[in-house]
Amino acid sequence: MSEITVQTHTRAVVWIDHLVAKIFGVGLTGVSAAAVHAHLPSQHLHHKANTIGDGRVQVDPTFLARVVEALGSCTDLLIIGPGTEKTELVHYLKAERPDLNLHVEASDHPTDCEIVALGRQRFRLS
């Protein structure tokens, strides 16, 4: 997957967590894929004794903006993912792209093929 804009399809599926967003443009003619990675200074999640900090992952302030930019001219969007990042993306999209038709579902860590199949099912393309 590359970090490119999904412009060829009007429907897309985004699987997102705090590290990466996988974006699949889904249509009758095929699928396009892109990935947007968070730029984090550290990926250590554990908390050592006698250190300052709460052990949480740092936040990339540009991550959601880059995900929205990668969506291009998409009009229908299904957002899935395991944590709270999908909720943050929904709030960001409602403010930045109110024209989008949003669908949200909880998901674990599906394969790329399962993500595409879920998108085809949601958008009734199969």
Q: Considering the domain boundaries, does residue 50 fall inside one?
A: no
Strand-pair partners of 37: 20
Please give the backbone phi and psi of residue 23, each rounded to the nearest 5 degrees, phi first. Answer: -115, 125
Asked whether residue 51 is domain-assigned, the answer is no
Residue 73 forms part of a structural domain: yes
Provide the CA 40 distance to its chain's centre, in angstroms: 16
Please check whether residue 52 lies inside any domain of the structure. Answer: no
Domain that holds residue 16: 11-38+58-122
Residue 69 backbone class (left: φ over 0; alpha: ψ -120 to 50; beta: rest): alpha
Residue 47 within a domain: no
Q: What is the pTM of this model?
A: 0.83
Joined together, the tokens standing for residue 45 give: 């999640």
pLDDT band at 43 (very low <50, low <70, confident <90, very high): low
**Is the per-residue pLDDT at 31 higher than 80?**
yes
Tell whether 30 is covered by a domain.
yes
Our count of domains for the chain comes to 1
Mean pLDDT of the chain: 86
CATH number at residue 69: 3.30.420.60
Q: For residue 46, is it within any domain?
A: no
Buried b (16+ CB within 10 A) or exposed e, 30-61: ebbbbbbebeeeeeeeeeeeeeeeeeeeeebe
The whole-number pLDDT of residue 28 equals 87
Of residues 108 and 15, the one with the higher pLDDT is 15
The candidate with the shortest Cα–Cα distance to 1, out of 74, 41, 15, is 15
- Asked if the structure places residue 24 within a domain, the reply is yes
